Amino acid sequence: MIRCIRMWSGPDGHSHFENGVIDLEPGPRDDTLSGKFPIASVSFQETNADPKLGWHPDPARQLVITLTGTLEFTTHDGRFSLGAGDILFTEDTVGGHDWTLLGGQPWRRLYAILDQVTVVPFRPDGPRTATVGLESRSAKAATMTGAKT
């Protein structure tokens, strides 16, 4: 499983999010993989300093795969953090959200633009809390290794 946050514009015109995963199935050589699905285009982008965009919607339905950097996103119903390896599945083309670059590392990412019929193998991770992200992942990792945070 790969950590994924789904963000969308609700019928209320606001942005919302839920924590989840991209489900993976057993594959060759003990790998796990998702099924293939079509994308319209792919591009890369790097942001070295917080551009202070303010509240804005996304231009298209897309997957945003973080390669480096850490961000905090704000939606109308809470905040979440993304770090390297996380996927943002965004359908927030109306409501709008804001994000802030954290730390000194640039945000390098891959944008995969999706069409309206592409099915993404996203599965919600259970009940959402208002703040999810790096803090909860660190605590979970510490619990699994016996360390204290």
User: Residue ranges per domain, the chain?
Assistant: 2-145
3-state secondary structure 33-99: ECCCCCCCEEEEEEECCCCCCCCECCCCCEEEEEEECEEEEEECCEEEEECCCCEEEEECCCCCEEE
70, 106 Cβ separation under 8 angstroms = no
Query: Which residues have CB under 8 Å from 31's CB, separation 6+?
Result: none
The more confident residue out of 138 and 99 is 99
Please compute Rg for the chain using Cα positions. Answer: 16
Listed residue (95, 3, 19) closest to 58, CA to CA: 95
33 strand-pairing partners: 25
The more confident residue out of 149 and 69 is 69
- What pLDDT digit, counting tens, does each position of 75-129 carry? 998 999 999 999 999 999 998 999 999 998 999 999 999 988 899 999 998 654 4
- What pLDDT digit, counting tens, does each position of 19-48 carry? 999 989 999 998 999 988 899 999 999 999
102, 72 Cβ separation under 8 angstroms = yes
Three-class DSSP category at 28: helix
Query: Which residues have CB under 8 Å from 91's CB, separation 6+?
Result: 6, 7, 8, 9, 58, 61
- Total-model pTM: 0.80
CATH number of 2-145: 2.60.120.10
Report pLDDT for 148. Answer: 40
Query: Does the pLDDT at position 143 exceed 90?
Result: no
